[in-house]
Amino acid sequence: MFLRRPRLTERLARGVQGPLTLVNGPAGAGKTLLVADWVRTGAAPGRVAWLTVEPEDNAPGVFWTYVLEALRRQGPDPPDEVDGAGGPARPGEVDHSLLARLAARLSRRTEPVVLVLDDFDRVVSSAEVADALQFVLRHAAGGLRLVIISRTEPLLPLHRYRAADEVTDIRDADLAFLPEETAALLSRHGMHLSEDAVRAVADRTGGWAAGLRLCILAAQQADDPESFLKGFEAGRSTLADFLLAEVLDAQPAETQDLLLRGSILERIHPELADALTGRDDGEPILAGLQRANAFVEALGHSWYRLHPLFAEILRVHLRVRRPGLEPELHRRAARWLSEARLLTEALPHAAAAGDWEPAATRFIDELAIGRLLTGLDAQRLDALFSRMDPDTPGPAADLVRAARELARHNVDQGLERLRRVQEHLSEDGARVSGAQRLSCALLGVLAARMTGSADLAEAAAKEVEAAEQDISPERLAQHPELTALMLTDLGSAQLWAGRFDAARASLTAAAHLDAGPSTAFPRHECLSRLALIDFLRGRPARAETHAREAIAEAERSGLPPAARTGVAELVLAAVAVDRDELATARAHLDRAAAASAAPHDPIVTTELTLLRSRLRLAEGDPQAALDALDGLARPSTVVRPSPWVADRIALARSAAHLAADRPQAALEVLGDGSPGPQSAVAAARARIADGACEEALRLLDELPTVQGEGPAVAVRALLARAQAADALGDDAAAQRLTARALSLARPERLRRPFLEAGPWLRRLLRRRPVLAQGHAWLPVSVTGRTAVAARHDRAPVPLTEPLITEPLSERELEVLGRLAQMLSTEEIAADLHLSVNTVKTHLKNIYRKLAATRRNEAVRRARALHLL
């Protein structure tokens, strides 16, 4: 029976007027009941969200996932006030931006939210959780009131709150029953003792709520309750022995048996209880215990929970009374929970029973292999299976081992495990489930990615599709991470092999999958790699868009910067170098280097080195640029070489040699193969520097036309042609080609190609300053003018021309640039990868905004307004 104590509820009511209330006391002190009763009275200043913390919540990502869910379900109204904050993507980390968004939303509330964290001592060792909680509480202003129920003090800066009188403490001494409260509790149970007996009980138990309750239950069975209560030992261990003997033994044999067996469970269902006891009386026993307040709590939906302290004592007693029974109980619990599709709860019991083979089999059959590779459960499952006996037989166990090894980037060990599984699955007469085939094929795609084999990845992806035919669509729909991982790994392998179109298709398909915590990281990774493809194909603006989408996805999913791929930051750094924004490039480069994938992903390790080299070259130090590339000379023994990576390394070396005035060396590092467009342009520039201009022009005339190459490639090719024409005395061709290069580069702000072009371009622009008009974005070192002169050099807009009243969008500026190049509507659509109808829509908007009716008129006014 519950006894309301107004002195404590009034302190709670005063406490939540400030930011922090601590309810600290030992187990069984009545902390949770006190706060729950206060909440039920409706005395809280706002809505109340309640979260009972579990031991697994020690990971910051898991903890904040449940906090946000508690706020959504029970907290502020409307719930979308926290929906916009997003959620963590990994169990061990939480992004600072997520916390900032949550705090900002709470700070705007007119009515505060009271967040109750029960059993917070279960995460008391997590400084990360405490720091994040402190941050949100401090920045939420008055929008958040925190009530912490804990056995110990949390790792918050309590001294600051106490110095500012902003914390209310309700400690074990406050929670202890006073003599008058003890008398009232005894009276509720029908025991009217003398004042001395009541004081003796209160003193002996120290006012401990659980001790009082258990003692009263035992005393009710005694012939003389007053003498019984006066005579018991008050020591904690003695009290435990007493409570076991008097409370447990007071129950019928069947109830004792159920309590002892059920003590191994975090929560218990009547049917699960029956599975443990071998009887069918679980439901009436649990319901009766709950009605009698015998330390069994109803959780709803027919689930119950034993009081944690009582369960702990019962487990000790189980080992004394029934030695050797506990593993069998764990085995039965694992079996029942598995059949109930409660895999997360079943696996720890199977592990406790040592039944690793059926545990691994169930894990694979439940299509859970992807949860070892991504999502909130990855670290917990990895830790669980790390205890698996190395001799555990069976393909499922080997699949789990292979997944763990590959997830840890132990490629050789992962491949060996995977080969064992493949050999077993191919044996004649082997019993193979669709889930095993699917899991094996999925890991095959991952292994192929890690070894750089697009052929093997594509073959394994077909095996995944074949295996999916044996699994119902409903089951597959419950595991979107499987498709997301397969497409991400497939696209990454295709990207490494230079199959850019195939890679784009795979990665785009993965990026468009339904959002969710289990697919957050694959989506982030796919968007990052799509950005890289755009950059490699010479489209920096599109690459920047995809990279920023990848970063936004990571922030929306609560993925901390260190846990991201780093590829998006690398792409932003590369784009910044092309735009001669070197400080910005260094900042992005540092963030990419701090990503967890940096030591393991060959794309990241290669691009980090290449970008460092490009920065050294941009700073005017060709030798330092070459030195930075030395680390790339050692080929990997695991990963197959990538053709485009080899080309980029050669291009970087060639550019450094050319900047150092070594054209022959620049040619030699490019090799004698059939180069792609960028290599051909680099070779042509080296020949021009060596005086072979006509040979360079022939090389450029033979330049292969590769569909999809963007303006960054075209600009460099045009400048190389212009340089050759200038060297051969064809001034008109040099001007025409330079003008076209400037027009193409302007929407992308590509400054680096013009900075790298050499002194010939500066001489040309000084001879023909009209070429630089409308291109104030060019560096002064290229145009040869001072910044003031560049501003004054702009032609004024004629007063008769209408000024633009609505700015053009970035896409409209791109279309306008192609319009000035006299491209047809169909050519513009093909160049920008748009439909013809979309281009026509953009043209209508351009004409409207420029007050023009014809193409020539729009271009003329755009030039007058310095839009071209």
- Confirm if 517 and 370 have CB atoms less than 8 A apart: no
Positive or negative torsion for Cα 796, 797, 799, 805: negative
Q: Which residue has the higher pLDDT, 76 or 56?
A: 56
Mean pLDDT, residues 185-208 taken together:
81
Q: 515-546 burial, b if ≥16 CB within 10 A, otherwise e?
A: eebbbbbbbbbbbbbbbbbbbbbbbbbbbbbb
Q: Could you give the C-alpha distances from 296 to 209, 299, 645, in angstroms and in order?
A: 16, 10, 64
Q: Which two tokens stand for residue 204?
A: 């002996």
pLDDT reading at 234 higher than 50? no
Strongest mean pLDDT among 209-218, 611-620, 692-701, 702-711? 611-620
pLDDT band for position 344 (50/70/90)?
A: confident
Determine the average pLDDT of the residues in 50-75: 84
Identify the pLDDT of residue 475: 92
Fold of 661-794: 1.25.40
Round to whole Å and give the CA distance between 641 and 622.
Answer: 26
Amino acid at 143: G
How far out from the chain centre does Cα 424 lie? 35
Query: What is the CATH number assigned to the segment(s) 800-868?
Result: 1.10.10.10
Helix (H) or strand (E) holding 118: strand 113-118
pLDDT in tens, 543-554: 999 999 999 999
Q: What are the strands of the beta sheet with 48-52, ordered from one edge?
A: 48-52, 113-118, 144-150, 20-24, 167-170
Residue 408 pLDDT > 70? yes
Rounded CA separation 526/510 (Å) = 7
Q: N- to C-terminal Cα distance for the chain?
A: 82
Q: What is the pLDDT of residue 794?
A: 43
Lowest mean pLDDT among 43-57, 228-242, 494-508, 841-855: 228-242
d(CA 714, CA 744): 8
pLDDT of the residue at 47: 87
Neighbours of 32 (CB within 10 A): 17
Higher pLDDT, 187 or 221: 187
Q: What is the pLDDT of residue 792?
A: 42
Strands 303-306 and 296-300: antiparallel
Cα–Cα distance for residue pair 249/260, rounded to 1 Å: 11
Do the strands 113-118 and 48-52 form a parallel or antiparallel pair, or are they unpaired? parallel
Using the predicted structure, report yes or no on whether residue 656 has a pLDDT greater than 90: yes
Mean pLDDT of 256-265: 94
**Residue where the block lists tokens 């084999």:** 453
For all residues of the chain together, what is the average pLDDT? 86
Q: Where are the domains of the chain?
A: 6-175, 179-248, 661-794, 800-868
Predicted pLDDT at 799: 37
Average pLDDT over residues 354-375: 92
pLDDT digits (tens, 9 = 90+) for 684-701: 999 999 999 999 998 888
* CA distances from residue 602 to 390, 521, 642 in whole angstroms, order as listed: 30, 18, 10
- Contact (CB, 8 A) for 382 and 404: yes
Q: Which of 155-164, 406-415, 497-506, 785-794 has the lowest mean pLDDT?
A: 785-794
- Spatial separation of the C-alpha atoms in residues 336 and 535, rounded to whole Å: 53
In angstroms, the CA 445 to CA 453 distance is 9
More confident residue, 45 or 510: 510
Q: What is the pLDDT of residue 232?
A: 53
Q: Which CATH architecture has domain 6-175?
A: 3-Layer(aba) Sandwich (3.40)
Residue 235 pLDDT class (50, 70, 90 cuts): very low
Q: What are the helix (H) ranges across 140-208? A: 158-163, 172-175, 179-188, 195-205
Average confidence (pLDDT) over 135-142: 91
Kindly state the average pLDDT of the residues 117-137. Answer: 86
CA distance linking residue 239 with residue 253, whole number of Å: 22
pLDDT higher than 50, residue 748: yes
Give me the pLDDT at residue 123, please.
Answer: 75
Q: Which of 121-125, 347-351, 637-641 has the lowest mean pLDDT?
A: 121-125
Domains 661-794 and 800-868 share a fold: no
CB-based contact 358:333 (threshold 8 Å): no
CA distances to 94, 555, 578, 620, 726 from 755, in Å: 42, 35, 10, 11, 17
DSSP-H helix ranges across 557-601: 567-578, 582-593
Report phi then psi at 101, rounded to 5: -65, -40
Give residue 336's pLDDT.
Answer: 95
Residue 81: per-residue pLDDT: 53
The predicted pLDDT at position 704 comes to 63
pLDDT tens digits for 11-38?
Answer: 999 999 999 999 988 777 889 999 998 9
Task: State the Cα–Cα distance between residues 189 and 217, nearest whole angstrom.
Answer: 9
State yes or no: pLDDT of 411 exceeds 50.
yes
* Listed residue (135, 141, 157) closest to 67, CA to CA: 135
- pLDDT for residue 865: 75
Task: Specify the 3-state DSSP secondary structure of 803.
Answer: coil
Residue 675 pLDDT exceeds 70: no
Report field, pTM of the whole predicted structure over 0.75:
no
Sequence letter at residue 41:
T
State pLDDT tens for residues 519-539: 999 999 999 999 999 999 999
What is the percent of the chain where pLDDT is above 70?
90
Name the pLDDT band for 40 (thresholds 50, 70, 90).
Answer: confident
